Each structure stands twice: as structure tokens, then as C-alpha cells.
Structure 1
Amino acid sequence: MSDIVLSKGIRSNLMQLQNTAANVALTQGRLATGKKVNSALDNPANFFTSQSLSSRANDLSNLLDGLSNGIKVLEAADNGLKAITKTVESLQSTVLQARQDKSNKTESFTLDATAIGTSSVKNISFSGGAVGSTAVNVALNATSSAAVQSTVAGSAAYQAPTAGSAATSGGVTASGTFASITLGASDTLKFNVSVDGSAQALTFTKAEVDTALGGSTGTIGSVDDLATVINSKLTGATASNSSGDLRLTSSSTGTSSNVSVTSVAINDGSSDTATNSTGFDGTAGQTGTAGAAAVAAVDRVISISDGTNTANITLTSANAGDAATAATYINSQLTSAGITGTVSNSSGTLTLAGASNGTNSLTVSGAGASAVFGASATTTAGTAAVTGAVKSVDELVTAINGNSSLTGKIKASNDNGKLRIENISTSDLTVTGANSSGSVTGSGSVTNTIGANEVRKNLVTQFNDLRGQLDKLSDDASFNGVNLLKGDKLKLNFNENSTSTLEIQAKDSAGAVREITNAKLGVTAATNAEFESDASLDSRVESLRSSLDTIRSQSSSFGSNLSIVQNRQDFTKNMINTLQTGSDNLVLADANEEAANLLSLQTRQQLSQTALSLASQADQGVLRLF
């Protein structure tokens, strides 16, 4: 069509009309789709940003289903906890009801004093009920018996104390006979000794002898002269005259103290010649006798008690050197301490006897007891004489209530002169020695039965029935296969990348997983024996209170988790709305604006068509020339 020539006016109007038509088409497309950006060609940045925001909004929208399910799981667990709480409260109420119940069965008995008598011991026995299968006997009377004197019979001969001794010095006494010794001018007396293990070589010249003795002849004429000469040089020991013989005594004492002579000789200036003139063998010498160590005194310390007074007695070699003097001294000490008792001596063996009427019981103790009375002394407790009698109702009440095997199991009281027995049990109590007519005879062939506490017995059944429901409630508190009360773990994702999560699971304070069950809450099955004891019921109440605290703590934990999930659910919804709105703002068209644009373009299009027509008419003016 290149051969067609358009005028400038027509071409200008045609191009304007084409542009307007293109804008009309674009505006109509926006109105049709509602978007101002329909493809990346329209606006790449807005198109891809909008897609990203929309994708994240869709991902978060998909997470809302998981959050909704998580909320329902928590609500199911909360429903279970509420029901379990009511169940435990009902259990607690049942225990409190049992604790307050006092509808125990009782029976009053008349004492048949004639049938009981005093010729032999008669008992009333209790078995069954809370007492158990082993019968507990309580004496109905006391038979006559003679007094038994308290004794401590010695099992071995008396071992007397020993006196102490001081340590002694060792030494040696010459075993030979002394003979006079005369030293010449060149002679030397050699006297070799050992003092406490240390050798001493003593030498004495004529001059030294004369100096020691105050003479001039060099003669040692006596044992005393010899002792004087030796002492002039001897150290750590002393020489002396012991009944005409020379005695060397160590200055020390004890087992290491000793003096020995190793050799004695006279040297004439050139050689030694052994001599026995000192009384000691000049060649062999003589070994001395070691001293003795100190010996401490050994006393016998004993204590004798009658339960009220105590005599602390120390026996020494001075006051108790033998069995006879020991007995005398002990008796004096017993009198001083106010204790009635006597110690007697039989061939060296001591025996202690208490009051003859058996009103006291003597015991012997202390480190010296076995030495005084023997290691296997036989002790017999004293017993006062007893006159037989049938116990009164009050005496029996005291005896029964004071018996530790019956405490908390039965209770006795005086019912206008009758013995009233209360069976504190959910089982029947058998009373042996009481007949069916209500008389206590003490005969082992008659029995009477006191019924059980039926109220508490029925409450045991009620408690266990309620307890059985607790585990069932826990089992049924599941949603969509997840049961938080059975220890299951619920994991919830909070963002599209799974980097923000919450794990919900029942745990204790230490972080260990726990189930909300009877076993984990410590709710054990009730027994008849437990419901018979008020103390056991009090303990059960405390245990149930602890169980309630555990349940409430777990409920609080789940409640906190639920708050987190609900908050996160609201947050996610708001985020989806924000993301979607942001995405729409980037690509959605303003319908009002686009409609106005379309109307304007349509007007422009009509004007362009009119202008084109006018331009065409101008071109046709040339035809008028023809």
C-alpha cells in the first residue's frame, strides 16, 4: 500500500485515533480483569513482587489449618483435665467423707469374775478386722506369784586389781671375788664396759689411781677403792659396793637401761694381761641385766544401778586386794548410794543380790565388770510378789488401749461397768474369750463377733470406681489422633519455612514427659485397711491435694500454650491480610479511575474520528475543480 499517499492532516488524525484505540483496549482490559498489571510486561517489578507476596500469603493460609487443629487438640486436653480435676475432687470428697464417718460397730461385755478366777491366767483375744490373723491377747487377771530376788551371779573368780611399779635401772654385779690390785709405775688398768649400749674404754694409770684414792702406792685394796677409781672416769653409770662385790648401775631406767663389762686387763707397758681381780672375768667379761619399764596400776571400775540410784565404784589393790575385801568395799559403796543389795564371796567368786522382796532389779556395768563378776555373769531381774486378782473394767480399758498392737484398730471404754469394744475396721472383729451372750469368761473356746464399718467399706468401692474413670478420661481426651494427656507431642509450625515452631507436651518441673494417669498422679487403689485408719485417710487427702496441684499446673501450662497458638493464629491471619493487601495494591486497578479513563478515551476517540472526517473532506476539496 506504499503507493497510497495520505495527507499530513489525515495521517496525524489517523495516528491519534490508533493511539486512542490502543488506550481504550488497554483500559477495557484492566476493567475486565480488575488488574492494572496483568503480566510481567505491564510492570515487571510490581508483577513479581505481587506474586511473591501472594505466594507467602497462600503458604501462611495453609498453616492456619494446622493451627486450628492444634487449638482443638489443646481444647480436647483441657476438656480432659477439667473432667479429671472433677474426678480427683470427687475422690478427695469420698476420702473426707470416710474420715468424718464414725459409724463403727460396738459391743459391750460383762466381766464374769467367777469364770475368770485367779487360778490360771485367762485372756481376752482379738483377731480379724484391722488386727489381722494373728490374735492379740490381753490378760484378764493376774495369778499369785512369789517374789523373785534380783541377782548377778558371778561366772568366774574375782580378778584383783594390781599395784603399779616404777621403772628400774639395769646393771651388773661382779660374780667373782675381789682381790687387791697394785699398779707399778708403768702399769695401766684397762676396764672396758658398755653403758646403755655405748662402749666406754676406761684406763687408769698408777698416778690416776693414787689421785683418785689420795695415796701413793698405786694399790686398790678394796671394792670401795675400786668403785671410787672407776667413778672417776665412768659416765652414764655408777660403780658401788654391793655386799662386797662391785656393782655397776646405769643412770637411766627402763628396758634399754643396762651395763655390761666386756673385759678387764692390766698393761705392763708392753702387753695386756687379763685379770679377774675386780670380780669380773677379765677375758669374757660379764653381761648385765636390763632395767624394767614402769608398770601402771590396774583398777576395776564398775557401776551398780537399781534403776534409780547408781553406785560408781573404783576397786584398787589397796581397797579390794582380794575377793573378801572387794565384797566388803562394794557393800559399803552400795549403802552410801542408797541401793539395797549385798555382794557375797564364795571361794573367790562374787555374787550380787538385790532386795529380798524383789522390789528392785540390779545391773552391773563398766569396764571392770567382767573382771569382778566374770564375763558370763547371769543377771536375774527382781519381781515383787503378786497377789492374784481379776482386772477391773477400767484396768482392762487401760490395758487394751495401751497395747501397741491394738492401737488404731480397736478401742475400749467403760460402758456403765461393762467393757465396751469398738471395731475400727471394715472387716468383722473376732473376740475370743467372750461368749455370744456378751459375757467375758476368758475361755478360749467361746467367741463373739463385732461387725464391720459398712459405710467406710462402701466408700472404698466408690473410691475405686471413681479412680477407674480417671484413666478412661485421659484415654478419651484425644483429637485427630493426638492425646496430650497420654504424653503425645504436638508440633505446630508458625511460618512457611518451619523456622518458628512450638512443641507442646505434658512435662513435669524437671522436664520429663509425664502422662496424666493414676500411676503418674500417684492415685493408687484404696484398700479396706487404708480406710480403717484416720491417719492413712489424712495421708490420702494430702496425696490427692498434691495430685490436684499437678493437674492444675499442667492445665496452666496447656492454657499458656493455647494462648500462644491463638495469638499466633490471629497474627497469621493479620499477616495474610497484610500480604494480600500489599500484593493487590501493586497489581489491582482502580475501577473508578479506569472507567473515567475509558469514558475520556471514548470521547477522544469520537473527536478523533470527527477530526479525521474533517481532514478527509479537506482533501476532497480538490475535486470541486473538476
Structure 2
Amino acid sequence: MPDITLSAAVRQNLLTLQSTAQFMSGVQNKLATGMKVNSALDNPNSFFTASGLNSRASDLGNLLDDMGQSLQTIKAADKGIQTITKLVETAKAKANQALQTQSQFERKKFAEQYNDLLEQIEDVAKDSSYKGKNLLAGDGNDLTTIFNEDSTSKLTIEAVDYTDTALSQGLNLSDLAEGQGSATSFQLQGGKVTLSLTDGTSALNSSSTLSQSNSISATTTLQFVDNSGTAPAALSGTSITAGATVQDLVDGLNGVAGVRAEFDDNTGELTIYSDEDIYLNDTGATVGAVLTIDGDNAEVDAAAFTATSQLLSNSGSFAVGDTLTLTDGNGYELGSLEVDEETTVDDLENFINDFNGVTGKFDTSSGKLNITSDTDLGLTSSNSDFASSSFVADTDGVTISALSDSGFSTDTKVNRVLDRLNTALSNLRSQASEFGTNLSTVEIRQDYTKTMINTLQEGAGLLTLADTNEEGANLLALQTRQQLASTSLSFASQADQTVLSLF
């Protein structure tokens, strides 16, 4: 194809249009991408500097996500400590409640509730994890939060272990002994005999001498003998001469443990109650010979009670007016029962069963009242002959020593627990404060990182982002230039076309 020759004016206008089109393309690209530096070709220095800034911003952005997860882990532990603190305060309230009562049974129940609270504390500690990390579960759960891209700035939070309340480096709160009760039994037995003391025509009174009786001679010396026909040590010194009064005989009988005598001045009747077999004889009589008074043997055949309907007052251990009292090991009185003419074994059994933690059951085959108690227990009587055996008084009554006492059984034990609870609360509050400080630190660094990322991105933008206002104005100017160049080209072409007018 032969060369086409353009005039200088046309060529200049074409060059201008090409240059303007190239500039417009660049401006349009900037407006389309919003970037004035899209590649290293645009501006190597700005491009690589901005790339470094954006890379660091991206690294910090990844760390920002980790910081957010660390915050949630700390918050989970903080919520756990708040809940544990409330549970420890509740446990302290239980200990204070125990101090407000002397009842060992109530204290035993408070100890059981205290142990339940410790179990809940351990459960809360175990449940305070977030994404497998638990700051309340001890070893292996330390939390490290990294704040910069080269890991030179970081915070390590050491985990504590509250999953076992007994740990000395944790809460140091051990489970309390809940106590284990025990049992005992005592014999309900007795018998009685009623004798008439008369002079043959009228009844004797308490001031009458025994020799006035038509059954007792002036030379008789009475002695109390057990069923073996002897006077054991427990009955020694109980001889009564015939010259003594009826009241002396009554007093002598009442001086024997487990034996009770009652004399009616109106009828002259002497009633003898005894827990053991006992009889009166003359010291000069044949061994085993029972004294006979007005045709009745002066002998009491005692036997174990066999029915709950039997009257307590038919035993030498009980008398009308006696007061039976139940107390626990702290001396706390559970209740009392006053014996009257109609008080039966069943009444005594029901009395014992009226109280929490105590059970009484009468065995009709053995005549024993079996008592079980969750705590130390004592059943005492105002009658010194209560629960006597073999003519020996049981001055301590019936006692039960529990196999083990509860951790709240005494004030000293309760106060010891309260001291530990106060220490645990102090430690919890200190640990909560430490976690709070760590939480604030991470939040502050998180905010700082957000600001730093923004600063880096802003700096990168200053190097690479286009000014849309400026580029818009440039595009408008280029469009104007393009229009003018097109017009100029048209004029140049028209000048070249004037030659056609010659043809």
C-alpha cells in the first residue's frame, strides 16, 4: 500500500487526539477502580509501600479475631467466678445458720447442704470453658493473647483450678463429714407385789413399827434378797429390824436401785415395784425362804415387758411424775415426756419417734426399746433408778454415741469452716479483679489494634487511592480537549480539501 502523506496540521491533531484518548483511558481506569496506583507500573514506590502497609493491617486483622476470642474466654471465666462467689456466699450462710442452732440434727442437715453447694461450685468451674479453654480448670488452660504481628507483644493469663474445691491452691474448701449415727437399746421390765400390813384387825400406818404386824415378829430382821437367794453387793446394808417403822421399810426399799415402794396409809397396802426379781426374808430363816405377809409372799417376779400397752409405772425405773428428756451431744433438748398413771410403752416409743433423726422401736419378744439416732443422743430421767440393771443405777441414762459427727457438730468446727469460707471469698474477689484487669487490657489492645489497622489502611490509601473529584475534573477537561482536537482536526482536513475546488 503506498504511503499516505498527511499534512502537518492533520498529523498534529491526530497525535493530540491519541494522547487525549490515552489520558482519558487512564483517568477512567482510576475512576473505575478508585485507585491511582493499581500496579507497580503506575508507581513502584507507592505500590510496594502501600502493599506493606496493607499486609501488616491484614496480619493485625487476623490477630484482632484472636483477641475477640480471648475476650470471650475471659468473660466465660469471669461469669463462672461470679457464680462461684454467690455459691460460696450461700455456703457461708449455711455455716451461719448452723451457728444459730445447737441441734446436732439440724447442723447435720446443714453440713449435707454445704457439701451439695461445693459440688455445684465444682460443676460451675467445669462448665466455664469457651472453645475448649477453661481458665477455671487449672493446668493446660493458660490463655496467651498475641497483640502484634511478630508475637513480641502478648499477654498470658494463668488458669486457676476450682474444679476441685479441696485444692489448697484453689478454694481450699473440703467436704464436711456428714456424720453417721448409731443405735442402742435398753430393757423395759419390772413387776410388782402388793402386801397388806395389818395388826390383825386394822391397817398399819407409815409410823407403825413393823413388829406390830401379825406377820412380823419382834425378833425378825428383814433383808432384801435377789432371785439367787443371796444379798449381793448391790443389796448390802438393806437389813431392816422388826423394831423399825413401816416408813423405814419403805425408805429401805426405795434405797435400792431399780426398786420402788409405795405405802398407802389409808389401806395399809405396801406396793413394791422392781426391775429385777427380789424378795424379803428373815435373816434367821432358811436360805430361799420368802417372807409371807398376811398370806402373800413378799416377792416380786420381774419380767421383760411384752406389749406396748404395758404401763411404764409398773417398772422400778419409772414413777408417776418422772420427766424423761431427750438431748443431743450439744446438750440441745429435743423434748421431754412426763410419766403419769396411764403412760405406756407405746407413749414412750411415740415420744422418741416425734423427733427428726431419731427412731424408737419396741421389740415385744425381748422387751427392749431399740433407739437409733443420726447424732449423739441421751435419754435421761429425773428418776435416778432409770434404766437400772442388777440393782445398779444408771445415772447417765441411755446414751448413743454417733459413729461420726458432722462437720458442723460444734461451734469450733463451724467457725473453722467460716474462716476458710472468708478466705475463699477473698481469693475469689482477688481473682475476679485479676481477670477484670486482663479483660480491660485485652479490650484496650483490641481498640488500639482496630485504630492501628485503620491508620495503616489510611496510609496505604493515601499512596494508592485516587481523588475522585480531581479525576472527574480531569476527565471533563480531557473530554473538552478531545472535542477541541476533533474540531481542530476537522478544520485541518477542510483546508486540505480546498484543492478539490480546482477540479
Matches within 5 A, 1:246-285: none
Deviation at 1:624, TM superposition (A): 2.5
> Hey, what does 1:484 align to over in structure 2?
135
Does the alignment pair 1:506 with 2:159? yes
Could you list the runs of 5+ residues in structure 1 that have no partner in the other structure?
A: 105-425, 427-453, 508-513
Give a deviation string over 1:514-546, Cα, whole Å, max 9, x none. Answer: 556312211111233431211221121111100
Q: How does the TM-score come out when normalised to structure 2?
A: 0.52
Deviation at 1:69, TM superposition (A): 0.8
Deviation at 1:3, TM superposition (A): 2.8
> Hey, what does 1:471 align to over in structure 2?
122
Instruction: Find the aligned partners of 1:26 and 1:538 in 2 and give their Cα distance.
Output: 86
Instruction: Find the aligned partners of 1:39 and 1:606 in 2 and give their Cα distance.
Output: 30
Instruction: Find the aligned partners of 1:24 and 1:517 in 2 and give their Cα distance.
Output: 75
Instruction: Find the aligned partners of 1:457 and 1:61 in 2 and give their Cα distance.
Output: 58
- Report the AA paired with residue 159 of structure 2: A
Match of 2:172 among 522, 526, 533: 522
Instruction: Find the aligned partners of 1:596 and 1:540 in 2 and give their Cα distance.
Output: 82
Does the alignment pair 1:567 with 2:429? no
Give a deviation string over 1:99-153, Cα, whole Å, max 9, x none. Answer: 1113x4xxxxxxxxxxxxxxxxxxxxxxxxxxxxxxxxxxxxxxxxxxxxxxxxx
Q: Is the 8 A contact 2:53 2:460 kept in 1?
A: yes
Deviation at 1:479, TM superposition (A): 0.4
Instruction: Find the aligned partners of 1:593 and 1:78 in 2 and give their Cα distance.
Output: 53
> Hey, what does 2:99 align to over in structure 1?
99
Secondary structure of the equivalent of 2:166?
A: helix
Matches within 5 A, 1:523-562: 523-527=173-177, 528-562=405-439
Q: Is the 8 A contact 2:76 2:129 kept in 1?
A: yes
Secondary structure of the equivalent of 1:525?
A: coil
Instruction: Find the aligned partners of 1:467 and 1:519 in 2 and give their Cα distance.
Output: 9
Deviation at 1:571, TM superposition (A): 0.8
Q: Is the 8 A contact 1:91 1:466 kept in 2?
A: yes
Deviation at 1:592, TM superposition (A): 1.9
Aligned residue pairs total 271
**CA distance 1:473–1:623, change in 2 (3 Å):** same
Instruction: Find the aligned partners of 2:406 and 2:435 in 1 and give their Cα distance.
Output: 38
Secondary structure of the equivalent of 2:99?
A: helix
Secondary structure of the equivalent of 2:28?
A: helix
**CA distance 1:57–1:32, change in 2 (3 Å):** same
- Report the AA paired with residue 524 of structure 1: S
Q: Is the 8 A contact 1:494 1:500 kept in 2?
A: yes
Deviation at 1:26, TM superposition (A): 0.9
> Hey, what does 1:39 align to over in structure 2?
39
Instruction: Find the aligned partners of 2:44 and 2:408 in 1 and give their Cα distance.
Output: 82
Does the alignment pair 1:596 with 2:247? no
Q: Is the 8 A contact 1:506 1:554 kept in 2?
A: no
Instruction: Find the aligned partners of 2:163 and 2:449 in 1 and give their Cα distance.
Output: 32
Instruction: Find the aligned partners of 2:120 and 2:406 in 1 and give their Cα distance.
Output: 23
Instruction: Find the aligned partners of 2:407 and 2:50 in 1 and give their Cα distance.
Output: 72
Secondary structure of the equivalent of 2:407?
A: helix
Secondary structure of the equivalent of 1:502?
A: strand
Instruction: Find the aligned partners of 1:519 and 1:457 in 2 and give their Cα distance.
Output: 20
Deviation at 1:475, TM superposition (A): 0.7
Q: Is the 8 A contact 2:111 2:406 kept in 1?
A: no
Deviation at 1:88, TM superposition (A): 0.6
> Hey, what does 2:55 align to over in structure 1?
55
Instruction: Find the aligned partners of 1:77 and 1:29 in 2 and give their Cα distance.
Output: 53
Instruction: Find the aligned partners of 1:459 and 1:481 in 2 and give their Cα distance.
Output: 35
Matches within 5 A, 1:155-554: 426=104, 454-487=105-138, 488-506=141-159, 514-515=161-162, 517-520=164-167, 521-527=171-177, 528-554=405-431
Secondary structure of the equivalent of 1:485?
A: coil
Aligned-CA RMSD value: 1.6
Q: How does the TM-score come out when normalised to structure 1?
A: 0.42
- Report the AA paired with residue 547 of structure 1: A
Instruction: Find the aligned partners of 2:471 and 2:406 in 1 and give their Cα distance.
Output: 90
Give a deviation string over 1:411-465, Cα, whole Å, max 9, x none. Answer: xxxxxxxxxxxxxxx3xxxxxxxxxxxxxxxxxxxxxxxxxxx211211111111
Could you list the runs of 5+ residues in structure 2 that have no partner in the other structure?
A: 178-404
Matches within 5 A, 1:79-94: 79-94=79-94
- Report the AA paired with residue 429 of structure 2: R
- Report the AA paired with residue 99 of structure 2: R
Instruction: Find the aligned partners of 2:24 and 2:159 in 1 and give their Cα distance.
Output: 65
Secondary structure of the equivalent of 2:42?
A: coil
Secondary structure of the equivalent of 2:145?
A: strand
Q: Is the 8 A contact 2:73 2:129 kept in 1?
A: yes
Instruction: Find the aligned partners of 2:56 and 2:137 in 1 and give their Cα distance.
Output: 35
